[in-house]
Chains A and B, each alone.
Chain A
Amino acid sequence: MLPLPLLTTMAAVLTIAVFSFLYKDNPFYKFAEHVFVGIAAGYIVAIEYQNVFLPNLWRPLLAGQYVLVIPFALGVLMFSRFTTRFNWLSRWAIGLMVGTFSGLAIIGFAQGDLVAQIQANMLPLRAHSLIDTFSNWMIVIGLLVSLVYFFFSKEHEGALGAAARLGIWFLMVSFGASYGFTVMARISLLVGRLLFLISDWPASLGMKFVH
């Protein structure tokens, strides 16, 4: 394995190469991008083989769990996509995956989102404190008018139109909150990389730039 200062310096150089895209597209950025894609692809193959294929399929199969021949065969069928003549065989495996994930998603959404969230929004409109009462009113009104906005079976006129317009306001506030959180996430990533460049990188070389 390469020494830590060299590895950290490589990481720092690649970080600066990626940042250089902010000035304009250039060969250093392209190089960093291609290195990342190549390493990520190789890493995924290696970890899938070591952490999934061997312990969950191959070793139990050799130990006598012959029922695992079925998922093994379905997995092999996925490679038929590389041929034009037999690529239809991969649809069996894909069909099984789509069916399994759809079933899980429907049950999960019904139990975890639909029922639980409807329950959670049955709030007392007169709570213990004034602030809780206000919050509960906001949640219930916001929920109802947002739902009205997505009700398209009747033209948005009169009271329905007013409720739908109020619904847009609630939706806009939620989009604003989401945008604010997105800004926070992006700044955090910049903070992380800058901390690495001014703190971790010099430290690995035995230097101290900041505490």
Chain B
Amino acid sequence: MERFDRRYIFLVIFVIVLFPLIWPLGLPIRVSKEVRGAYVAIDKIPPGSKVYFACDYDPGSMPELHPMTIAILNHLFSHNVKVIGGCLWPGAPPLLEEAFNKVAVEKYGKKYGVDFVNLGYKEGREVVMVSIGRSIPSTFPADFYGTPVSKFPVMQGVNSLSDVAMIVNISAGYPGTKEWVQQVQSRYHVAIASGCTAVSAPEYYPYYQSGQLVGLLGGLAGAAEYEKLVGIPGTATRGMDAQSLGHLAIIVFIVLGNLFYLYLKKKGKLARR
């Protein structure tokens, strides 16, 4: 067992994950109360209001988080909510640009600068969060393309975070949801909905339980649940069958590994380390 080539495990996982992507099984998706919380809070935002969309991830976590961005933007633009996007991760602005083009422009015919704006990236992490709590235009004097933000109608009447109805944070780690809660929610008491990687989700559940987050989407499953709520199946829904079978395979491997371990222990064949 100890000489077992782990590449066989990689091969099995690869085949098991690939299979349902080619032949979908259509396994059911159950919506959790954390995801429903985010959906209900966003659904209650009055049309014409503005939301700060904190896009804090890069291509490394795109498979988990980009479907959330697409699903939530679909929800926001279908309710005619205006979106001000900002990024604390250098790799994020082009991803936000792609999502805006795909959802706002192509699907809902929204206009850049009028219905949404991409403020781009700013270095400074928590300092930027506190700074936009006081003044967004002085922290982001120009958008991602270098145009002064004062020229955009969507920025009229928006000075600080108290002028937005909600912050939606899509977070891949640091800086992300934890820092938004610590630096912004606790100071300025703005409602925050978070979408995060599955790795970070256990760390953020206490923030949902305490009411510091109005909703939480964890990983690909969270994205698929949100897609189900907005009624627009996307890549997360497509990936959920593969996700479920992958989990099943790993559970089988864990059980088999432990059974072999116990068997070898009983036979006294375990190599001394």
Contact = CB atoms under 8 A, between A and B. Distances in A.
B182 A109 contact: yes
B91 interface: yes
A16 B29 CA distance: 31
Contacts of A188: 63-64, 198, 219-220, 239, 243
B219 A192 contact: no
A4 interface: no
Contacts, number: 145
Nearest to B60: A189
B158 interface: no
Interface residues of chain B: helix, strand, loop or mixed (majority) = helix
B209 to A, nearest CB: 6
B249 to A, nearest CB: 9
A125 interface: no
A189 B198 CA distance: 11
Interface string B191-234: 00000011101100010011110000011110000000000000
Taking residues whose C-beta sits less than 8 angstroms from the other chain, chain B's interface range is 35 or more
B146 A185 contact: no
Given A51-B120, A116-B186, A184-B221, A191 B211 contact: no
Interface residues of chain A: helix, strand, loop or mixed (majority) = helix
Interface string B171-199: 00000000101110111000000000111
27 contacts: A43-B90, A51-B122, A56-B122, A59-B141, A101-B125, A105-B126, A108-B182, A119-B210, A120-B206, A120-B209, A120-B210, A177-B202, A178-B199, A178-B202, A182-B199, A184-B198, A184-B247, A185-B198, A187-B13, A187-B242, A188-B239, A189-B64, A191-B239, A192-B62, A195-B21, A198-B21, A199-B21
10 A-B pairs with least C-beta separation: A192-B63, A120-B210, A108-B182, A112-B182, A111-B186, A185-B198, A191-B239, A187-B246, A188-B220, A112-B186
Interface of A: 22-23, 43-44, 47-48, 50-52, 54-56, 59-60, 100-101, 104-105, 108-109, 111-113, 116-117, 119-120, 139, 174, 177-178, 181-185, 187-195, 198-199, 209-210
